[in-house]
Amino acid sequence: MKHIRKAPLLNLIRRFASAGQPHPARSFRINSSLNPEAPYPTAFDEWYDALSWIVDTDPSVHRLDSSKISLVGDSTGTNLADALSILDKQRHPEDVRIQSQILLYSPLQAAKHGYASYKVFDQSCYMLTAKSIQAAWDYYISNHENRLKSTAAPLEASIKELKGAASTYIFTAEADVLWDEGV
């Protein structure tokens, strides 16, 4: 599977993933295509292919327990992780494969950009601005109809889509234009 590469994660993430477990968590990184060369749904499809490979491949090949899958994403990775969790639940409602996820500073809403944090932290001394976030969404999803899909913008998901999906821990940065999308 070309999109999976073993990689160490931050100690914090390993601790979350291993909490209460008799053995440390195993981790891997999905090397998905990047924007603007690969707009939606390219990277998303690659993440889904990686999940399917883990679940459908004999565990002796990858030494992962496919019944205990947790996702971790930061920035655009949170969008992909959350959307993948939603799609997994849609396609496997009786056998959800993703058990939990950790999302770090989350861009989860493609269609709406009128949040207070966009105004408060725009043009501040911090790295992200409302304009840069909008440009990133334009590169990722140029078709505005796709921005309303829960697999592109997880905050578009209905309560029905979210019920029974993976347990989610969301971490936000206080002085961040994306803060409102994470709370």
Residue 165 has pLDDT above 80, yes or no: yes
Distance separating alpha carbons of residues 166 and 86, to the nearest angstrom: 8
Number of residues written out for the chain:
183
Distance separating alpha carbons of residues 133 and 49, to the nearest angstrom: 27
Residue 19 has pLDDT above 80, yes or no: no
Burial status of residue 46 (CB atoms within 10 A of its CB: 0-12, 13-18, 19 or more): buried
User: Which of 17-26, 66-75, 91-100, 152-161 has the lowest average pLDDT?
Assistant: 17-26
Compare 175 and 12 and report the one with higher pLDDT: 175
pLDDT digits (tens, 9 = 90+) for 33-62: 988 888 999 999 999 999 999 989 999 998
**Residue 8: pLDDT band with limits 50, 70, 90:** very low
pLDDT digits (tens, 9 = 90+) for 71-112: 888 888 888 999 999 999 999 888 888 988 888 888 777 767
Output the pLDDT for position 176. 81
What's the CA angle centered on 161, arms 160 and 166, to 5 degrees?
A: 115
How do the domains of the chain map onto residue ranges?
4-182
Q: What is the DSSP code string of 42-102?
A: HHHHHHHHHHHHHHHS-HHHH---TTSEEEEEETHHHHHHHHHHHHHHHH-TTS--EEEEE
Asked whether 47 and 79 are in contact (CB, 8 A), the reply is no
Output the pLDDT for position 125. 61
Asked whether 121 and 132 are in contact (CB, 8 A), the reply is no
Q: Which class in CATH covers the domain with range 4-182?
A: alpha beta
pLDDT digits (tens, 9 = 90+) for 113-141: 678 888 888 876 667 888 888 888 888 88
